[in-house]
Amino acid sequence: MSPRRIDTGGRRVDRDRGIRFTFDGKPYSGHPGDTLASALLANGVTLFGRSFKYHRPRGVLTAGVDEPNALVTVLKGNIREPNIPATQLEIYDGLTVVSQNRFPSLSFDIGAANQLGGKLLGAGFYYKTFMGPVVGPLKGTRFWMFCEYFIRRAAGLGRAGYDKDSARYERTNAFCDVLVVGSGPAGLMAAKAAAQSGKRVILAELEPRFGGSANWSSETIDGMPAADWAQATIAELRERKNVRLLPRTTVWGYYDDNMLAALERVSDHKRDAAKGEPRHRYWSIRPGAVVLATGAFERPLVFPGNDRPGVMLAGAAERYAAEFGVLPGRKIAVFANNDGAYGTALALKKSGAEIVAIVDVRRQVSEAAHAAALSTGGEFLAGHAVVATEGGTKLSGVKVQIFDAATGALSGDPRSIDADCLIVSGGWSPVIHLASQAGVSPQWDDDRQAFLPPKPTQNWIGAGAFNGSFSTAAALSEGDAAGRQAAGETDGPAEELPNVDAPALQSNPAPVFEIRTSGKAFVDYQHDVTAEDVRLAHREGFVSVEHLKRYTTLGMATDQGKTSNVPGLAIMAEALGKPIPDVGTTRFRAPFAPVSIGSLAAERYGDLKPERLTPMHDWHIEHGATMYSAGLWYRPMIYGHSGETIEQAYVREAKAVREKAGIVDVSTLGKIAVQGPDAAEFLDRVYTNMFSTLAVGKARYGLMLREDGFVMDDGTTWRLGENDFLMTTTTANAGKVMQHLEYFLDVVWPDLKVHLTSVTDQWAGAAIGGPKAREILAACVTGTAVDNEAMPFMGIVHGEIAGVAVMICRLSFSGEMAFEVYCGAGHGTHVWKALLEAGKPFGLVPYGLEALGTLRIEKGHVTGAEIDGRTTGRDLHLDWMLSKKKPFIGSAMMDREGMTAEDRLQLVGIVSLDNRPLNGGGHIVEQANPEDPANSLGHITAACYSPALGKFIGLALVKGGKSRHGKRAFTSDPLRNRFGPVEIVSHHFFDPEGKRMHG
């Protein structure tokens, strides 16, 4: 087996301890500190996954977050976590991992047959076919959907599970003066400099270990191995109280006003999370300033066979050797367009690998590079290129040919070189994603052949490789300066910068991105986008960078083009004969790397919205109420007796109200205290009817319009004192009405002296109604009379029930003699129980929303089903409430032609003529045609069985409204297959004169 664990290197792993895990069911071992990638490589595994389209065998290309190939699914019981890069997955005992996108197995995958399709399956092929016949049974979309069924099954990567994730996700907010993103030499220096100024610093590092490239560099800093310097610096920072270190934390989003979002993988690396420990923690961080020290991603070169397992980025190979003590091969070939890979070759040789060849597209290389090449002992092939790779699911050799970097021409005969690993370096792309999210387009730099960060539009400062400053010395000095600047220090360096001993290798690459010859050469590994696909896009005119991306899917995979964007652009630029920046660059979008959806929901996962419970909630539950969720509230729907259907229960309850008495919890009604010397004036302006004329101790029903003249809400408002009103709103609109009133008071009429307070939660309310209601009150209310004189219709009194102060208003929604009893919320259940106790001899029953709805339908009262934001006062026959004596909100707009048109829907009552139930949402037609429903006149807004009438009735909004009273029509409800005759009647079904409630 080619890759293996070696005796040297491996700072990150604890060789003394072993870890056992499985991959595709096969047991393997590794060490604490290993990633899945390093552990599998150490076990000689080279095949990690299958590509998206062609199902080509793929190995591991990188050692970090930029990995396009080695994606796996982690299994925790039935919980599946798909598409995790093996390079980011820290192993633990018992870790269970499976490969993806293969059937039946990773080494034998039927989907690989797609490779035979080859040129048929080029970029965008699906737009040109699968349309099927124009006529016949497969016309329209049928044929496509037939094909799509198979395409969907072939596409996709990992599989998501269906079981609820049992893990906990958490969110936290953080504030600091300086946030440093990335902890390589630049980030460490920035954090140190900022920390020394005493400022609050957060240092976020996406890897488990701080130090970034220092952890695998062969350079020395201040005379010690770079990794030691990094660990010493971290130890120093750890001691400081003003520094917070966040390992395993990916800063993924840069939002407006310097708001950054980060994901901390708190316990992914553990078999079991500690008690109370979440799986992921989502940080929203508001720093004063940000230091972006996010480094750079190495780029691969594009050449035929560049995706064969065994091809790896040079920096990744160096990293596996230094950090994990894993050599990716025994016989390693190097292919580069810059000096960077030479240092890697030396390091790998030092670790015991044989460097078989160094292939460089440049004919001339720097002296330092030349010297390094010679000391690796490998064959040095300047002015050459790799033109093919050999082997099956594992590299066995490479083919090289003479290459002219200026023209891209190949010459001479290709020859083979035995190798089990090819390390590649195509230059470096600064990781400018966060800066790009925060602002404008990046700038192309010819020397570095890379996009450099744009000018800041938010408060960030860049340092190190992020800026395109690839040397460690530059990283240290830029980091120091950035840290100082971010902390607001303006003086020069306080102390000397550390000394760096590094080879004089230049990482600026030759402008070569692709070796163009026959064979599939991959640009985007994961999405199988080849150089030919890019050229096909060019031929078909998809040349702007966004068209290129969208047509070929370049850069759209889970790695988001981290390794492929620039090579893709370069190939398009060449095809167009334009410089790269003229092709453009896409703006990076959040997130920088994929983020668990659970982390973003955090505490709301499993608990989307708060629950609002009335003070009497527990009583309802204890007494058999079936609860109904209404917005955030829970309200009793029925108090069902055993064996009762919902209909039987509400009919029993409603009947009891009409015959004796019933009580219903109305605590959810919106309640707003409107107080102040101008309160009456204010109400005159917001209601369509007058309130300034209302006597103290009386209540009035009020109607409110929106500015556009449509009905907004209704409710009663009680005048408790000269300057003191209690407004009630419907349950659903409580918040909306409050904001509506506040807006007018604060913005439009600030000269009015009125104070608004939401008191919904301060009052418990119970409505008690029925022929016996007054007697029941008389039996339990003290401190006030409740007779007709003390309490005329709409009168308000104050008294006590069972020792608790109550406020009672005689008003009626049910149409019966009825009262609303309000008391402090904390006493709600006490008063409720006392009322029920007092009502026992009178047959008082609690009733729920269904009975409430029945009683109001019988009375023709409107609710949210009729006040649906599209109805006018006239539509609802509430014209009598539209005062002509004063302007009010909506008065100027309510008479426009569209709102007074003849064909508007108007409120009517309907009675079922076939003695079968009607359905809310059923439509009304003149002639029912179940086969081909048409010509709707309107719809049923609410329906019930009316015990008072002994009929199935409903309210409806119907064209023509009143003019149809007494006429026959049909309900047409194809969705529930309910068709039948109805009679259209007045919406006042029951006691239209209101004798019962007026007593």
Partner 1 sequence: MLITCPYCGPRDVSEYTYQGDGNRARPDAGSTDNQAWNSYVYDRLNIAGEHHEIWQHSGGCRAHLAVSRNTLTHKVSAVAFARDAGHRKSDRHRKSGGAA
Partner 2 sequence: MAEYSALSLLKNAFSGNRDWKPAWRKPDPKPSYDVIIVGGGGHGLSTAYYLAKEHGITNVAVLEKGWLGSGNVGRNTTAVRSNYLLPQNIRFYEHSMKMWENLSHDLNYNVMFSQRGVLNIAHTPAQLDDFARRGNAMRHLGADAHLMTPAEMARRVPGLDVSKSARFPIYGGLMQERAGTARHDAVAWGYARGADRRGVDLLENCEVQGFIKDGDRVVGVNTSRGEIRAKKVAVAVAGSTGHVMRMAGVERMPIESHTLQAFVSESLKPFLDTVVTFGMGHFYMSQSDKGGLVYGGDIEGYNSYAQRGNLPIVEEVMSEMLALFPSLAPVRVLRSWGGVCDMSMDGSPIITTGPLPGMYLNCGWCYGGFKATPASGWCFAHTIAKDQPHHFNAPFTLDRFHRGAVIDDKGQGATPRLH
Shortest reach from residue 750's CB to partner 1, in Å: 4
Reading the block at residue 93, the tokens are 């005992």
According to CB under 8 A, which residues from 346 to 405 bind partner 2?
A: none
Task: Using the rule CB under 8 A, give the single segment among 159-167, 508-516, 615-623, 838-846 that binds partner 2.
Answer: 159-167
Query: Contact 689/700 with Cβ under 8 angstroms?
Result: yes
Contact of residue 551 among partner 1, partner 2, none (CB under 5-8 Å per partner type): partner 2
Contact of residue 557 among partner 1, partner 2, none (CB under 5-8 Å per partner type): partner 2
Query: Contact 795/697 with Cβ under 8 angstroms?
Result: yes
Query: Contact 555/568 with Cβ under 8 angstroms?
Result: yes
The C-alpha atoms of residue 942 and residue 638 are separated, in whole angstroms, by 17
Binding mask 14-33 for partner 2 (x = CB under 8 A): --------------------
Task: Tell whether residue 459 is a contact of partner 2 (CB under 8 A).
Answer: no
From the centroid of its chain, how far is CA 849? 35
Binding mask 932-961 for partner 2 (x = CB under 8 A): -xxxx--xx---------------------
Contact of residue 630 among partner 2, partner 1, none (CB under 5-8 Å per partner type): partner 2
Task: Tell whether residue 931 is a contact of partner 2 (CB under 8 A).
Answer: no
Shortest reach from residue 687's CB to partner 2, in Å: 17
Contact of residue 678 among partner 2, partner 1, none (CB under 5-8 Å per partner type): partner 1
The C-alpha atoms of residue 364 and residue 379 are separated, in whole angstroms, by 15
Shortest reach from residue 471's CB to partner 2, in Å: 33
Contact of residue 253 among partner 2, partner 1, none (CB under 5-8 Å per partner type): partner 2
Contact of residue 936 among partner 2, partner 1, none (CB under 5-8 Å per partner type): partner 2
Strands 326-327 and 331-336: unpaired
Task: Using the rule CB under 8 A, give the single segment among 325-333, 594-602, 660-668, 792-800 that binds partner 2.
Answer: 594-602
Task: Using the rule CB under 8 A, give the single segment among 211-219, 225-233, 595-603, 659-667 that binds partner 2.
Answer: 595-603
Task: Tell whether residue 628 is a contact of partner 2 (CB under 8 A).
Answer: yes
Task: Using the rule CB under 8 A, give the single segment among 164-172, 191-199, 204-212, 962-970 that binds partner 2.
Answer: 164-172
Query: Contact 422/389 with Cβ under 8 angstroms?
Result: yes
Contact of residue 580 among partner 2, partner 1, none (CB under 5-8 Å per partner type): none
According to CB under 8 A, which one of 540, 724, 837, 991 is a site residue for partner 2? 540
Q: Within 809-864, where are the H helices?
A: 828-839, 849-859
Reading the block at residue 310, the tokens are 């065994």
Residues across the chain: 999
> What is the binding site for partner 1 (CB under 8 A)?
255-257, 259, 286, 457, 678, 681, 684-685, 692, 707-708, 739, 742-743, 746-752, 885-887, 892-893, 896
Task: Tell whether residue 129 is a contact of partner 2 (CB under 8 A).
Answer: yes
For partner 2 (CB under 8 A), the number of binding residues is 116
Shortest reach from residue 692's CB to partner 2, in Å: 27
Task: Tell whether residue 228 is a contact of partner 2 (CB under 8 A).
Answer: no
Cis check: omega of the bond before 591, within 30 degrees of 0: yes
Q: Within 849-982, where are the H helices?
A: 849-859
DSSP SS3 for 386? strand
Contact of residue 462 among partner 1, partner 2, none (CB under 5-8 Å per partner type): none
Output 371 or 893, the one with its CB closest to partner 1: 893
- Residue 324 CA: distances (Å) to CA of 5, 111, 328, 437: 8, 34, 11, 33
Shortest reach from residue 525's CB to partner 2, in Å: 14
Output 216 or 979, the one with its CB closest to partner 2: 979
From the centroid of its chain, how far is CA 146? 32
Contact of residue 865 among partner 1, partner 2, none (CB under 5-8 Å per partner type): partner 2
Binding mask 275-314 for partner 2 (x = CB under 8 A): ---------x------------------------------
What is the distance in angstroms between the CA of the first residue and the CA of the last residue of the chain?
97
Output 349 or 753, the one with its CB closest to partner 1: 753
CA atoms within 13 A on the CB side of 533: 30
Cis check: omega of the bond before 567, within 30 degrees of 0: no
| Cβ burial 200-239 (10 Å sphere, 16+ → b, else e) | bbbbbbbbebbbbbbbbbbbbbbeebbbbbbbebbeebee
433's enclosing H/E stretch is helix 433-438
Contact of residue 598 among partner 1, partner 2, none (CB under 5-8 Å per partner type): partner 2
Task: Tell whether residue 160 is a contact of partner 2 (CB under 8 A).
Answer: yes
Query: Contact 349/355 with Cβ under 8 angstroms?
Result: yes
According to CB under 8 A, which residues from 41 to 60 bind partner 2?
A: 52
Shortest reach from residue 456's CB to partner 1, in Å: 13
Task: Tell whether residue 997 is a contact of partner 2 (CB under 8 A).
Answer: no
Binding mask 885-924 for partner 2 (x = CB under 8 A): --------x--xxxx-x-----------------xxxxx-
Query: Contact 54/124 with Cβ under 8 angstroms?
Result: no
Q: Which of 507, 363, 335, 342 is nearest to 427 (CA)?
A: 507
Task: Tell whether residue 141 is a contact of partner 2 (CB under 8 A).
Answer: yes
Q: Which of 29, 20, 148, 36 is nearest to 81 (CA)?
A: 36
Task: Tell whether residue 98 is a contact of partner 2 (CB under 8 A).
Answer: no
DSSP class of residue 629?
A: E
Task: Using the rule CB under 8 A, give the single segment among 81-89, 197-205, 483-491, 798-806 that binds partner 2.
Answer: 81-89
From the centroid of its chain, how far is CA 209? 28
Query: Contact 452/443 with Cβ under 8 angstroms?
Result: yes
From the centroid of its chain, how far is CA 64? 24
Q: Say how many C-beta atoms besides its own lie within 10 A of residue 16's C-beta.
A: 7
Rg from Cα positions in the chain: 38
422, β-bridge pairs: 311, 333
Owner of token pair 């003070």? 615
Shortest reach from residue 591's CB to partner 1, in Å: 18
Instruction: Find all residues with CB under 8 Å of 145, minimum gap 6, and list them.
Output: none
According to CB under 8 A, which residues from 229 to 268 bind partner 2?
A: 253, 255-256, 259, 261
Contact of residue 973 among partner 2, partner 1, none (CB under 5-8 Å per partner type): partner 2
The C-alpha atoms of residue 210 and residue 32 are separated, in whole angstroms, by 16
314's enclosing H/E stretch is helix 314-324
Contact of residue 427 among partner 2, partner 1, none (CB under 5-8 Å per partner type): none
Instruction: Find all residues with CB under 8 Å of 75, minimum gap 6, and list them.
Output: 81, 96, 97, 98
Contact of residue 50 among partner 1, partner 2, none (CB under 5-8 Å per partner type): none
According to CB under 8 A, which residues from 702 to 721 bind partner 2?
A: 706-710
Output 447 or 879, the one with its CB closest to partner 2: 879
According to CB under 8 A, which one of 973, 983, 984, 996 is a site residue for partner 2? 973
Output 115 or 891, the one with its CB closest to partner 1: 891
Contact of residue 975 among partner 2, partner 1, none (CB under 5-8 Å per partner type): partner 2
Contact of residue 842 among partner 2, partner 1, none (CB under 5-8 Å per partner type): none
Reading the block at residue 939, the tokens are 């719809």
The C-alpha atoms of residue 603 and residue 639 are separated, in whole angstroms, by 33
Read off φ and ψ for residue 219, nearest 5 degrees: -80, 170
Task: Tell whether residue 589 is a contact of partner 2 (CB under 8 A).
Answer: yes
Shortest reach from residue 892's CB to partner 1, in Å: 5
Output 339 or 678, the one with its CB closest to partner 1: 678
